[in-house]
Amino acid sequence: MRVVMVGSGYVGLVSGACFADFGHDVICVDKAVEKIEALKKGIIPIFEPGLDALVESNVKAGRLSFTTDLTEAVAEADVVFIAVGTPSRRGDGHADLGYVYAASSEIAAAIKGFTVIVTKSTVPVGTGDEVERIIRETNPEADFAVVSNPEFLREGAAIEDFKRPDRIVVGLSDERARAVMTEVYRPLYLNQSPLLFTSRRTSELIKYAANGFLAMKITFINEMADLCERVGADVQDVSRGIGLDGRIGSKFLHAGPGYGGSCFPKDTLALAKTAQDYDAPVRLIETTIAVNDNRKRAMGRKVIAAVGGDVRGKKVAVLGLTFKPNTDDMRDSPAIAVVQTLKDAGAIVSGYDPEGMENAKQMMDIEFASGPYQAAEGADVAVLVTEWNEFRALDLERLKSVMKSPILVDLRNVYRAPEVEAHGFTYTGVGKTEEVTKV
Ligand SMILES: NC(=O)c1ccc[n+]([C@@H]2O[C@H](COP(=O)([O-])OP(=O)(O)OC[C@H]3O[C@@H](n4cnc5c(N)ncnc54)[C@H](O)[C@@H]3O)[C@@H](O)[C@H]2O)c1
């Protein structure tokens, strides 16, 4: 199959490289000239474990190439994936479909022969209908079908997720398109990944329903964590106690600073907006959004409480800035709100992240340190915000020796209180406070 990927970001580049690895001929297109120039030189513009080797081997094998010339690439294609961004629209929170529609008209003008156009971007229900309309109006002669194929990969484990997905969802009604999509994903379903064919609208909604549910699950355990702190229970034991129930499942039950990243915040918001527009409001998701928004600043206040209620002029070391480990993605990272809350209260913040520093520098005005111990130099408190492996086995003696006062706030429950306290630290986790308010 001749595959074109329009948009070569976290999703487009990973999907393109994986499709090439399956044996397809793939061209990744992007408007960002510097991104394509870098890729042509073998430089991967994002941090994603294993991606550099996968790209390199497939480029070498002649199956993967990069261009800014969409027209030439699309003309030869059997299938064109749209993997451009769908951020929140400024002002109202709906998904901004500007990039998807712009890509659709560019693709429309370039189509030659029967071509399947696939939206891999996360798009609200009905977007496929609009993409179809745009293509038909731009190029009335075009022979094409529009398919929905949402992507479920997670940054940090993207290649594994793409190559061994729990399922592949494909929304379509055209039989020729079904044959093409079956061929594109053949290596995966031969490998037992279920290929689920649905209507296009259903497929579009599945993606939002999945992200909405997962965001709700995280938010649920975060609220349980708050309750644990009040009643003297341990949220990690609660997670285990409920997660072992097969109907609930143990994943996404880790209490923390609230969900962030490039997907959950914008997708929950877009789902809530779509549901309101169709007069079927999703109150659970609306509440999830509100609870999560409050939580991020509340985590900043938790740090302030850990140093006795006043952080003005004090130094806070923030360990981990990205929204999760193994990515350099800073979009909507909880660290942004935590840092802002601390700065608003007058703290001096020093941050360190193994991969996210470059992106973080565009987003926050703090001191950037060269490592966790450098960040903690002279600090009144250290806050573990992102659970990078590098922070899982900190040399606590060394950490204590460089800090002004040994206080550790662990927003990911990486450590156990007794082991940290044994080194002379005051420790605060999430959902673990022993103080009980009797009612
Ligand atoms: N990042 C994830 O973990 C993830 C997971 C699943 C789904 N998604 C969804 O996938 C989509 C893409 O997300 P992403 O994180 O890869 O975004 P991204 O911002 O990393 O990449 C998008 C790329 O598209 C390019 N682009 C925009 N318009 C273009 C055009 N007309 N022609 C060519 N290139 C164009 C941009 O330059 C950018 O490089 C979004 O809808 C997102 O919700 C993302």
Query: What are 97's strand-pairing partners?
Result: none
**Residue 9 identity (one-letter amino acid):** G
- pLDDT for the residue 189: 84
List all residues whose CB is within 6 A of at least one atom of ligand 1: 6-12, 29-32, 35, 70, 83-86, 99, 102-103, 106, 121-122, 151, 153, 155, 262-263
- pLDDT for the residue 192: 84
DSSP state of 248: T
Distance of CA 384 to the CA centre of its chain: 19
Residue 75 phi, psi dihedral angles, 5° rounding:
-55, -30
- pLDDT for the residue 380: 98
What are the tokens at 272? Answer: 């809530």
- pLDDT for the residue 395: 98
Radius of gyration of the chain (CA): 23
Residue 120: which of 154, 161, 148 has the closest Cα?
148
Helix (H, G, I), strand (E, B) or coil at 340: helix
pLDDT < 50 stretches in the chain: none
- pLDDT for the residue 433: 75
Q: Kindly give, in sequence order, each residue whose CB lies less than 8 Å from that of residue 244, ignoring residues fewer than 6 positions away.
A: 250
How many angstroms is it from 329 CA to the middle of ligand 1? 12
Residue 150 CA, closest ligand 1 atom number: 7
Q: How far apart are CA 265 and CA 78, in angstroms?
A: 34
Output the pTM of the full model.
Answer: 0.96
**Residue 439 identity (one-letter amino acid):** V
Query: Ligand 1: which of 4, 6, 11, 51 to mutate, most ligand atoms within 8 Å of CB?
Result: 11
Q: How far apart are CA 171 and CA 147, in angstroms?
A: 6
How many of the other CB atoms lie within 10 Å of CB of 132?
17
Query: Is residue 263 annotated as a catalytic residue, yes or no?
Result: yes
Q: Are 320 and 299 in contact (CB under 8 A)?
A: no
How many angstroms is it from 48 CA to the middle of ligand 1? 15
- pLDDT for the residue 104: 98
- pLDDT for the residue 6: 98
- pLDDT for the residue 190: 82
Burial class of residue 341, CB neighbours in 10 A (0-12, 13-18, 19+) = buried
**DSSP states of 263-306:** SHHHHHHHHHHHHHHTT---HHHHHHHHHHHHHHHHHHHHHHHH
Helices (H), 23-174: 33-40, 51-60, 70-75, 98-110, 127-138, 158-163
- pLDDT for the residue 437: 55
- How does strand 2-6 pair with strand 79-82? parallel
| C-alpha distance from residue 362 to each of 84, 90, 358 (Å) | 21, 19, 7
Q: Check the CA dihedral 128-129-132-133 and report its sign.
A: negative
CA angle 436/438/439 to nearest 5° reads: 145
How many angstroms is it from 30 CA to the middle of ligand 1? 10
Q: How far apart are CA 255 and CA 259, in angstroms?
A: 10
